[in-house]
């Protein structure tokens, strides 16, 4: 039987098709997109304009001119951006005319950006860029785009006098863009501003120093170091941000490595950027210039020795102290050294030099204010030290003043630099530094410097220090004793042979009251280990899926580890968990099984398939969805039909979730279902489709997607002949040739295929009874 079916292409569906067509480049598609430029719906028009931004799409150029001249401002801006993407040199003249025609700042900015993208070396483009910079009333954003264009065209000499009077924002942009061009005049250009930096803001100066470091052949390291260390801390932050944002291979990496090794400590966020850059440089050197690693080794070891010696000099030590009063004096001095500035320290010293003591209330208030962001532990230490402000003995006062005189406000920063260098020693794998790092670790333990203890442990694990590794199991078995040692051993455990460390790590996960951070660190370490051949380790992880103290997200992470590290021997315990009453445990088990089933042929597919069909009838929708995705990954012959039902009947959130998880199991049949969903009215579904089909458009399915999208666009909103689905065939019993183990699948199919007929049947019975 043939029926007429009207195919309606909704607005969001059309936007999806037009957006996806951007992945294909041919005249047929270009002409279809151009047709939609003039659509009365502005969103559809914008989608078509944006999708036309393919290099060489000359057919769209004249139409884009019309949109620029007659369209709304959003369409004008989109059209200019599209012309920039098409990069047709012929459009430059018209865009320059439009620059004179339009006064809107945003449109003019887009035009300058477009013509400089198309051809910054074009004479007319250069002339317009120069005229903008010579106009004192020109918009700042226009000037920025003009400078970038002139730099790309090689006009650095023209820019020198112009930039002397430029804004700081324009200067900063100039020095940032300098990294993206390859111009032999770059070094002269950057040195031209060396004697003018006194007027630079901190952020401009930081950007300038980054360019000076990378764009000059033999930069004066003393000049850069002096500016980074003696200037505002924002200079170094800007310097790091600029370097971190560069996706380039650094020239002279050893030179930059040396600079970062001695760079000042600012704060934790800045230190993290410094560490990441150092690791990036080490990886680059190890890959491209391994012969330079020896130079890094010598440099790093020398700094370890020097900085540790500076820290220990006149250190206010806790070692050997037994008397409470002496301990309080040392703790008080340490707190001031770590948190107070030189003015406050001087004020405290003057207070204790006064006889008799004045009222300490105001001074105590200042110290508390200084400690407002300190950990609670340090605040409590200070509260314990308040008794020092009421000392009677002159001898005790003199002892305290002697301790206060040893304060070195630079020492905390030296410790953080030492911490950085210890990390570097581990990354470079300097085994000759083991003894020195052990000394630092012992010093940090005696003086209770937690972060140094933690980093030293991690690095010593990296360097496979036997002394430290032998103690690992002891510290991991007593997590409450010292959190820094615990964190260090957990983070360092990924470098220790797994068979030695996996049992205490899993034991930590079994402790109900363990900190969330500790659990996350343990899971990170186990994920980076190879525990496949360690008997019982994966089974112990499976038991953790039933632990009540672990969060849903943590159980999903464990399931991922089980799936990647397990084999067919753990299939049955996971299968048993799929019948657990807890939703999270069920889903975790299904996720783990899915990973296993794809990798291991030893998994009994018939048993697994039977269980998955049972789970398809679970009362929890998420469980049904996970079971369906697993069936699809197994290429089950009936899973496609179930998928069709789900996408037709489920909520838009569920359908969108299913779509986002289909990429690993994609096939021609699944793709067909996805393409049919283009007609969905749900925005969430459309967004999910744009992502997954957009990715698939760049692979083996490209031609199939192209044909389908074109067909959908051409046949929308017309009467379309289609064959109606024949009535479902009833199946009243299990065929003899089918295995009894497939009963769940057959029962599911029977229910699904006959549910509509049975519903109608019972409605008829009820209606007949009422009439009777």
Structure tokens belonging to residue 315 = 């250190």
Using omega within 30 degrees of 0 as the cis cutoff, is the peptide bond preceding 72 cis? no
Q: What is the dihedral of CA 118, 120, 125, 131, to 10 degrees?
A: 140
- For 253, residues 6+ apart whose C-beta sits below 8 A from its C-beta are 281, 284, 285, 289, 292
Beta strand residue intervals within 588-637, DSSP E: none
What's the CA gap between 96 and 94, in Å, rounded? 5
pLDDT of residue 519: 94
| C-beta separation of 497 from 514 below 8 A | no
pLDDT of residue 719: 39
**What CA–CA distances, in Å, run from 465 to 448, 462, 598, 666, 693?**
21, 8, 39, 47, 51
Count the helices and strands in the chain (H runs, E runs): 43, 2
| Rg, Å, the chain Cα set | 35
What's the CA gap between 437 and 434, in Å, rounded? 5
pLDDT of residue 325: 87
In a 3-state reduction of DSSP, which class is residue 723?
Answer: strand
Residue 484: how many other CB atoms lie within 10 Å? 19
| C-beta separation of 656 from 686 below 8 A | no
| C-beta separation of 24 from 706 below 8 A | yes
pLDDT of residue 629: 92
pLDDT of residue 483: 87
In this prediction the pTM is 0.83
| C-beta separation of 156 from 145 below 8 A | no
pLDDT of residue 769: 53
State which residues of the chain have pLDDT below 70.
1-8, 231, 480, 716-772
In a 3-state reduction of DSSP, which class is residue 2?
Answer: strand
| C-beta separation of 385 from 367 below 8 A | no
Q: Which of 204, 172, 175, 167 is nearest to 191 (CA)?
A: 175
**What CA–CA distances, in Å, run from 181 to 128, 152, 156, 454, 713?**
21, 7, 11, 42, 43
What's the CA gap between 418 and 439, in Å, rounded? 13
* DSSP single-letter state for residue 251: S
Q: Which of 121, 133, 67 is nearest to 92 (CA)?
A: 121
């Amino acid at each position: 039987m043939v029926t007429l079916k009207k195919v309606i292409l909704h607005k969001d569906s059309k936007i999806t098709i037009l957006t996806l067509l951007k992945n294909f480049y041919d005249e047929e598609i270009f002409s279809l997109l151009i047709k939609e430029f003039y659509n009365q719906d502005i969103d559809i028009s914008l989608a078509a304009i944006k999708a036309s931004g393919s290099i060489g799409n000359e057919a769209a150029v004249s139409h884009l001119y019309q949109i620029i001249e007659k369209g709304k401002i959003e369409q004008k801006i989109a059209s200019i951006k599209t012309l920039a993407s098409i990069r047709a040199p012929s459009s430059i003249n018209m865009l320059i005319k439009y620059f004179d025609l339009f006064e809107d700042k945003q449109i003019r900015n887009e035009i300058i950006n477009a013509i400089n993208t198309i051809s910054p070396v074009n004479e007319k483009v250069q002339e317009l860029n120069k005229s903008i910079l010579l106009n004192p009333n020109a918009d700042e954003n226009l000037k920025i785009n003009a400078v970038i264009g002139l730099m790309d065209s090689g006009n650095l000499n023209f820019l020198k006098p112009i930039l002397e009077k430029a804004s700081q924002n324009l200067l900063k942009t100039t020095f940032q863009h300098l990294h993206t061009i390859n111009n032999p005049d770059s070094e002269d250009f950057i040195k031209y501003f060396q004697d003018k930096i006194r007027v630079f803001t901190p952020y401009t100066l930081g950007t300038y120093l980054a360019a000076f470091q990378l764009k000059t052949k033999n930069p004066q390291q003393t000049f850069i170091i002096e500016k980074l260390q003696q200037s505002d801390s924002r200079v170094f932050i800007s310097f790091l941000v600029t370097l971190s944002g560069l996706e380039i291979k650094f020239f002279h990496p050893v030179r930059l490595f040396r600079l970062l090794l001695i760079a000042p400590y600012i704060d934790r966020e800045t230190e993290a950027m410094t560490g990441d850059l150092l690791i990036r440089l080490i990886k680059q050197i190890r890959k491209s210039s391994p012969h330079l690693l020896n130079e890094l080794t010598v440099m790093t070891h020398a700094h370890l020795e020097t900085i540790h010696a500076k820290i220990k000099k006149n250190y206010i030590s806790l070692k050997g102290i037994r008397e409470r009063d002496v301990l309080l004096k040392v703790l008080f001095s340490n707190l001031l050294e770590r948190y107070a500035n030189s003015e406050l320290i001087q004020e405290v010293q003057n207070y204790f030099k006064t006889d008799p003591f004045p009222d300490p209330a105001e001074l105590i208030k200042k110290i508390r204010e200084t400690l407002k962001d300190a950990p609670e532990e340090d605040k409590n230490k200070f509260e314990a030290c308040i008794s020092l402000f009421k000392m009677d003995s002159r001898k005790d006062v003199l002892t305290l003043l002697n301790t206060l005189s040893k304060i070195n406000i630079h020492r905390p920063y030296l410790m953080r630099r030492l911490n950085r260098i210890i990390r570097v020693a581990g990354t470079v794998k300097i085994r000759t530094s083991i003894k020195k790092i052990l000394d630092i670790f012992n010093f940090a333990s005696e003086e209770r410097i937690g972060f140094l203890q933690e980093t030293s442990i991690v690095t010593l694990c990296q360097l496979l220090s036997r002394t430290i590794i032998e103690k690992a199991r002891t510290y991991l078995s007593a997590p409450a004793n010292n959190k820094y040692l615990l964190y260090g051993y957990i983070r360092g455990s990924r470098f220790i042979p797994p068979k030695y460390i996996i049992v205490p790590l899993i034991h930590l996960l079994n402790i109900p009251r363990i900190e969330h951070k500790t659990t996350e660190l343990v899971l990170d370490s186990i994920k980076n280990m190879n525990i496949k051949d360690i008997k019982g380790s994966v089974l112990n992880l499976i038991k953790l899926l039933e632990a009540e103290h672990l969060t849903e997200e943590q159980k999903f992470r464990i399931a991922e580890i089980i799936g990647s590290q397990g084999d067919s021997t753990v299939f049955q315990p996971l299968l048993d968990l799929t019948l657990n009453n807890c939703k999270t445990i069920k889903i975790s088990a299904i996720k783990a099984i899915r990973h296993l089933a794809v990798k291991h042929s030893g998994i009994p597919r018939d048993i697994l398939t039977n269980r998955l069909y049972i789970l398809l009838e679970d009362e929890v929708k998420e469980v049904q969805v996970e079971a369906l995705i697993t069936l699809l990954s197994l290429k089950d012959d009936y899973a496609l039909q179930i998928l069709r039902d789900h996408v037709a009947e489920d909520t838009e959130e569920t359908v969108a979730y299913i779509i986002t998880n289909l990429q690993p199991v994609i096939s021609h049949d699944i793709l067909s279902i996805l393409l049919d969903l283009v007609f969905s009215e749900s925005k969430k579904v459309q967004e999910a489709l744009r992502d997954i089909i957009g990715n698939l458009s760049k692979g083996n399915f490209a031609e199939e997607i192209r044909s389908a999208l074109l067909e959908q666009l051409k046949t929308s909103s017309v009467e379309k002949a289609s064959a109606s689905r024949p009535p479902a065939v009833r199946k009243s019993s299990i065929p003899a040739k089918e295995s009894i183990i497939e009963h769940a699948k057959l029962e599911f199919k029977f229910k699904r295929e006959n549910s509509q007929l049975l519903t109608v049947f019972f409605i008829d019975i009820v209606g007949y009874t009422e009439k009777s």
